Amino acid sequence: MLILCSLCYGQQTDTLKKMMQDHLKLKGKNPVHSIQIYISKGIRIFNEAVGFADGRNEVAEKNNQFKIASITKTMTAVVILQMQEEGKLSIDDTISKYLNGVKFVRINELHYFKNQSYGNIITLIQLLQHKSGIADIFTDAAFRFYLYEYFHKNQEWNPEKLMNRYYKYGLNKDAHFVPDSGYYYSDVNYFLLGLIIEKLSGQTLAQQFRSRIFEPLNMNNTYFEYYEPMQGNAKMAHSFLGKRDITKTLNTSYDWAGGGIISTTSDLAVFINGLFEGALYKNDSTLKLMTTMAPHTLKSGRISYYGLGLYQYNFNGNIYYGHGGFWGSLVAYCPTKKITFCGSINQVNHNFNTSVFIESLLKYFNDTL
Q: What is the pLDDT of residues 65-111, one digit of tens each?
A: 999 999 999 999 999 999 999 999 999 999 999 999 999 999 999 99
Residue 342 β-bridge partners: 38, 331
- What whole-number distance in Å separates Cα of residue 259 and Cα of residue 148? 19
As averages over each run of 10 residues, the pLDDT of the chain (369 residues) reads 50 93 95 98 96 96 98 98 98 98 96 98 98 97 92 93 97 98 97 98 98 98 97 94 94 97 98 98 98 88 94 98 98 98 97 97 90
Contact 135, 199 (CB under 8 A): no
Q: What is the DSSP letter of 228?
A: S
pLDDT value, residue 9: 62
Q: Please calculate the CA angle 306-312-313 and round it to the nearest 5 degrees.
A: 140
Name the H helices within 235-310: 246-249, 256-259, 265-276, 284-290
Pick the closest to residue 183 from 348, 16, 307, 61 (CA basis): 307
pLDDT value, residue 301: 84
pLDDT value, residue 4: 39
pLDDT value, residue 1: 39
- What whole-number distance in Å separates Cα of residue 77 and Cα of residue 310? 9
- What whole-number distance in Å separates Cα of residue 134 and Cα of residue 81? 21
pLDDT value, residue 368: 84
pLDDT value, residue 8: 56
Residue 358 β-bridge partners: none
